[in-house]
Amino acid sequence: MSSRSKGWTALFVILLVMVVDQALKIWIKTNMVLHDSIHITDWFYIYFTENNGMAFGIELFDKFFLTLFRIVAAGFLIWYLNKIRKDSNVRTGYCVSIALIIAGALGNVVDCLFYGLVFDDSVGHLATLFPDVGGYGSLFYGKVVDKLYFPLIATFWPDWMPFVGGEHFVFFRPVFNIADSAITCGIILLLLFYRRELSKAVDSDINKKKPIAE
């Protein structure tokens, strides 16, 4: 596939993921109160929650620096994608995998940058898009909307288990969104099918850092 075709394919993936991700998030925000859930099946719920952290609700860094890191990481990956699409030896699937990660990063960046400005809070009532009184936060401090919950196994630990015996156990507990899924899928595809390209990228970076022998 030509570099132009690879570029258009990657751009289509990015736009598709972002549009679907944002459309669902806006629908959730304007139709569900925080912690509302919709039962789809016993192992799949639409469950509305928000978080300040990374994928799957993990919180490790200050919100401002986390948002800034996402922007920088997405910018680097966009530059890298534009570079590799011109390489005839790079497969289209590798570009698509990178595009999925970019789309996921940008999808959550939109939440962090703008949701605090354009939505009021969802606690006890439906959120309003562009409320007259202003949003619930400021630039860089919006909360990421999560809504996909897959409690594949819900049971209790056996009583004989130390420390956790008799306690309720749920697998898979994290609540996530389409953007998180895109990042995860992109990484899995890279590790499963495109290790050659990854190794080449790492080797190229190492060689650039080696001092020139006198």
Contacts of 201 (CB under 8 A, 6+ apart): 84
Q: Residue 46: enclosing H or E segment and its boundaries?
A: strand 44-51
Is 146 designated active site?
yes
CA 22 to chain CA centroid, nearest Å: 12
What is the 8-class DSSP label of residue 79?
H
- Which residues fall within 8 angstroms of residue 109, CB to CB, at 6 or more apart? 67, 70, 71, 74
Is 120 tagged catalytic?
no
Among the options 120, 159, 180, 203, which is catalytic?
180
Q: Give the Cα separation of 99 and 78 in Å (integer).
A: 8
Residue 126, amino acid = L
Contacts of 191 (CB under 8 A, 6+ apart): 198
Query: Which residue out of 21, 87, 146, 159 is catalytically annotated?
Result: 146
C-alpha neighbours within 13 Å on the C-beta side of residue 77: 25
Judge whether 140 and 112 are in contact, CB under 8 Å: yes
Positions annotated as catalytic residues are 146, 180
